[in-house]
Chains A and B, each alone.
Chain A
Amino acid sequence: MTSQLTTERHALEIEPVFDIDSLNVYYGDFRAVKDVSLPVAGNEITALIGPSGCGKTTVLRCLNRMNDLIEGARVEGWVRYHGINLYDPGVDPVEVRRRIGMVFQKPNPFPKSIYDNVAFGPRIARLQGDLDDLVEESLTRAALWDEVRDKLGDPALALSGGQQQRLCIARAIATSPDVLLMDEPCSALDPIATLRIEELMFQLKKDFTIVIVTHNMQQAARVSDRTAFLSVDVNDRGQRTGRLVEFDTTDKIFTAPSEKDTEDYITGRFG
């Protein structure tokens, strides 16, 4: 399936991993996200940026049905993953989350050993093959192996924050997902640990499609290939509904965005 991404200056064709189409998300009768449509290209990093309450994390969580776990959450529209609507009744959300892994804002390793954290998913999924090799490979791809190879039995919680986050990335990729969703993965990390994660993302995108939510615009500019800017409308009852303002290549968004709302947000003139 092919989606046509058109901007004023150029049209490009990409084979999307996700085709988000007219997505609306409700919490009870409150609409948190309105009519978001955008494609996510494979082996690229797509960044979702926007002010607090614009629904960027909500959109991200729709991509592996994490919102199913929230009482009263309801999704309208389509999230097609390789052409299959993730919200079709026959789709198994557990399998969805195996293929579409997630890394959260705060590193959240299990209170287990480093080894058991990485081996956890493969054991649950009963993946075939040598578990030791899989743990080493996952830790290597997460750029953590050299730091932990001699202490795999140590508690994961003894690692530094940056190491814990890379462990969570290793844990996420151990089940051989296709996509990594990252919800502000560096917001709890210091600048050096942040740069390590960003460098890691460049490596990971060779094998995975990455969608990242970040409050840090410089981070979006540094790491992403395409950027979606979401804004928020507030109704007279104070309810905030997110909407997509602009989606384009990151180069375009951060040098000459087409929409004034994007321009105002990126340059800090957001009112």
Chain B
Amino acid sequence: MSDRRSHFHDELAELEHTMYDVGLRAEHMVALAVSAVVDRNETAADEVLAMDAEIDRLYAATHERWMQLMARQQPMASDLRIMSVLLHLNITLERMGDQTVNMVKLAKATSGLPHNERIAGQIREMGDLVRPMIRTALQAFALRDMDEALLLPAMDEPVDRLNRNMYREVVACGPDQHLLEWATRMMMVSRALERIGDQAVDIGEQVAFLVTGEVREFNDHVDR
């Protein structure tokens, strides 16, 4: 079958590839941000800031290209749906990057404070849970794989649980003001990771829209 709009479809494929690439970068930024927080890895922190600047640049370039394609190509049917999803992904992935920047800023703000291994372990665990979620969301998007997308809510549950539990861990830090200050900031780190998990689920919902043409929420997250 010949493609009578191959030029446009090549452009769409290029934008899609850019989004996939940004997604992989976001996943790497999560790993770096967790290391910046838990290991107090300053190099990782600086790398996150540099990568975020690049994601911001790609966000602006993608948005501009998206506008041009909408104006010039007037996409329809599945082309229109992919355009809608690309716009959504562009925003979602940029925000994921912003969440890792928030984590890094918290890491820098708490660098001189004492820390608690138990809380640090939970932050690390949340990072280890969230990164495969980003991978799964990207894979579902690339392959238009609904089954893969539908895995995401279940993957998100332990992340939500750890985030809810973080409050108790902070309270358990006791009367040490410096430790409490650190732990309170860790609640914000936990919240950032929990948001990234939700954003991965959002991408899964976009994949479902792309495949079926229907907008749907995978499930109701109590604390979203």
Taken together as a complex, chains A and B put the C-alpha atoms of A221 and B74 apart, in Å, by 11
Alpha-carbon separation in the docked complex, A217 to B73 (Å):
12
A257 within 8 A of B: yes
- The A interface is mostly helix, strand or loop, or mixed, namely helix
A266 touches B77 (CB 8 A): yes
Indicate whether B118 reaches chain A with its CB closer than 8 angstroms: no
A255 touches B80 (CB 8 A): yes
Give every chain A residue within 8 A of B1 (Cβ-Cβ).
Answer: 264, 269-271
Residues of A within 8 A of B2 (CB): 271
The 5 A-B pairs of least Cβ separation, nearest first, read A256-B213, A271-B1, A268-B5, A268-B4, A266-B76
A253-271 vs B, Cβ < 8 Å mask (1 yes, 0 no): 1111100001110111111
- Chain A residue contacts of B213, Cβ below 8 A: 255-256
Say yes or no: is A128 at the interface (Cβ < 8 Å to chain B). no
Q: From residue 128 to 181 of chain B, which have CB atoms closer than 8 A to chain A?
A: none
- Is B223 an interface position by the 8 A CB rule? no
Do A267 and B77 touch across chains, with their CB atoms under 8 A apart?
yes
A218 CB within 8 Å of chain B: yes
Asked if A267 and B74 sit within 8 Å, CB to CB, the answer is no
CA distance A186 to B81 in the complex (A): 28
- Size band of the interface chain A makes with B: 10 to 19
Contact present for B78 and A268 (CB under 8 Å): no
Interface of B is mostly: loop
- For the complex, what is the distance from the CA of A218 to the CA of B76, rounded to whole Å? 9
**Residue numbers in A under 8 Å from B78 (CB-CB):** 256, 263, 267
Which B1-47 residues have C-beta < 8 A from chain A? 1-5, 8-9
CB neighbours of B80 from chain A (8 A): 254-255
Q: Mark A197-240, 1 if CB is under 8 A from B, else 0.
A: 00000000000000000000110010000000000000000000
Q: Is there an interface contact between B5 and A221, defined as CB atoms closer than 8 Å?
A: no
Most chain B CB within a 10 A radius of its CB, from A217, A218, A270: A270
Residues of B within 8 A of A271 (CB): 1-2
Within 194-220 of B, Cβ neighbours of A (below 8 Å) are at 212-214
Q: How far is the CA of A214 from the CA of B214 in the complex (A)?
A: 28
Q: Shortest beta-carbon distance, B3 to chain A, in Å?
A: 5
Nearest residue, chain A, Cβ from B77 = A266
At the interface, yes or no: B79 with Cβ under 8 Å from chain A? yes
The answer on a CB contact under 8 Å between A255 and B77 is: yes
Smallest CB-CB separation from B74: which chain A residue?
A: A218
